[in-house]
Structure 1
Amino acid sequence: MPEREPRNIVERVASTIYGILEAPAVWVREKVVEPNQQHYPWYHQKFRRVPTIDQCYTDDPVCYFEANMQYKRDRMVDTEILSILRQRFQDCTMYEAPDHVEKCSHLLQQYEEAAANWFTKYGDLGAYHNAKAAFMKQKHRMIWERRHGPVGSGMKQETEENGNGN
């Protein structure tokens, strides 16, 4: 479609300003971004999955380091997912103002489930934690659940374990 000639001075000024602002962006896109896209099919660095901390030997510091870096990356991803879910719920409550309780309940349920899962995995570890601390937390939680039932359901009574009620 050929460009048409501006009809009056206002259109000419607007067209000139538009061209001045658009030209550098088009140049960067055509000369920098698009040639680099041909070499790299993605922008984000993709890391290979490494053995987790429970698969490392006790005398292998390189494996410990890799497992810890993978744990930190996974934690950042999980935190960002939780942030996105929170933002979706907040946007929904703002958009659906008086009726947000019914219309945004599914988003709130998703966010609360994700927050509970995040806290189960990463919560109460302190400021300076690593993959080993998270693994130990998971191990202790599994032992607790085996002995006492799911966390939050209350402890089993002694009579329930024996089964005789005496």
Structure 2
Amino acid sequence: MPEPRSPMASFAQSVQNIIDGPITWFRESIVEPNQEKYNWYHQKYRRVPTIDQCYTDDAVCRFEADQQFRRDRMVDNEIVNILRQRFEDCTLYEAPDHIVKCKPILETYEKATENWFIKYGDLGGYANAKTAYMKQKHRLIWERRHGPVGTGMKGEEQTAH
């Protein structure tokens, strides 16, 4: 550290050392040596209970479930973006035979997109874990009554059983 230029600066520096010194020592000698070093660059979060495992009056559990939902949605968004980029790169690289050569990548991308829309489609930007859970519940009820979504509704003869 540079030498203080005045008695006031010297006093301020000594107060800073008294307050910050133990904190810096604790962090450098106890916290940092005991931290796990990861081989990847992103933080790995532990999985938290989902919204259906939370009590209705447990605000902390609901908040954690919402945060987990947001992280999962961001990861799923990136997966779909990467698959789309791979398909676009394959199309550019393999043209004019891209229809045949890129078919597996296209099928993977379309399945990932379908799964993304099943889980997150029509929820909007301010969706939370509860709205996604309710969407899943409504979809399951619909499929129980009418068959898989997109296949048309069961006829009256099938529902009479």
Using structure 1 for the length normalisation, give the TM-score. Answer: 0.73
Percent of aligned positions that are identical: 69
SS, match of residue 50 in structure 1: coil
Provide the rounded CA distance (Å) in 1 between the counterparts of 2:147 and 2:111. Answer: 20
- What aligned pairs does 1:50-61 form with structure 2 within 5 A after superposition? 50-61=48-59
Provide the rounded CA distance (Å) in 1 between the counterparts of 2:160 and 2:119. Answer: 32
- The CA deviation string for residues 118-156 of structure 1, in whole angstroms up to 9 with x for no partner, is 000000012211000000000000000000000011111
Alpha-carbon spacing, 1:149–1:39, altered in 2? closer, same or farther (3 Å): closer
Task: Determine which of 37, 40, 63 is the counterpart of 1:40.
Answer: 37
SS, match of residue 98 in structure 1: coil
Q: CA RMSD in A?
A: 1.4
Q: Which residue of 2 aligns with 1:115?
A: 113
Task: Determine which of 147, 158, 161 is the counterpart of 1:160.
Answer: 158
Task: Determine which of 89, 114, 118 is the counterpart of 1:91.
Answer: 89
Deviation at 1:39, TM superposition (A): 6.2
SS, match of residue 48 in structure 1: coil
Whether 1:68 aligns to 2:36 is: no
- Matched to 1:121, the amino acid is K
Provide the rounded CA distance (Å) in 1 between the counterparts of 2:111 and 2:104. Answer: 11
Q: Which residue of 2 aligns with 1:27?
A: none
Task: Determine which of 120, 139, 142 is the counterpart of 2:140.
Answer: 142
Q: Which residue of 2 aligns with 1:124?
A: 122
SS, match of residue 67 in structure 1: helix
- The CA deviation string for residues 84-124 of structure 1, in whole angstroms up to 9 with x for no partner, is 00000000000011110000011000000000000000000
Q: Which runs of 5+ in 2 are unaligned?
A: 1-34
